[in-house]
Amino acid sequence: MASARADRPDLILLDASMVGGMGGAQTLAALRADPALAAIPVVFLTGLATDADRASFQRFGAVDLIAKPFDPLTLAARVRAIWQGLPG
């Protein structure tokens, strides 16, 4: 949260299963509750990648998800494609 406030990223990649402190869903809820951060698009990285999981993450406010394991060589292209598909 502190990094997001300080850096004001254009997009956040958020692991769904973070250890220690807040989990991914809790972090997203905190981002959405902060008026300064609420509009930042969030993409989850997760091993839970069924259509139902995708719908669940989107109900939480994520714009998309990237399934783990993912190919690190194609990650930038995947994020770029998600970014280009965002409204506005």
Q: What residues does each domain of the chain span?
A: 2-84
Query: What is the structure's pLDDT at 50?
Result: 80
The per-residue pLDDT for range 21-52, each reduced to its tens digit, is 778 888 999 999 999 999 999 999 988 778 88
| Residue, of 33 and 53, whose pLDDT is higher | 33
User: 2, 26, 12: which is closest to 79 by C-alpha?
Assistant: 12
Distance, CA of 10 to CA of 4 (rounded, Å): 10
Please give the mean pLDDT across all residues of the chain.
89
Residue 20 pLDDT more than 90?
A: no
- CATH code of the domain occupying 2-84: 3.40.50.2300
Please tell me the pTM assigned to this model.
0.85
User: 25, 12, 13: which is closest to 67 by C-alpha?
Assistant: 13
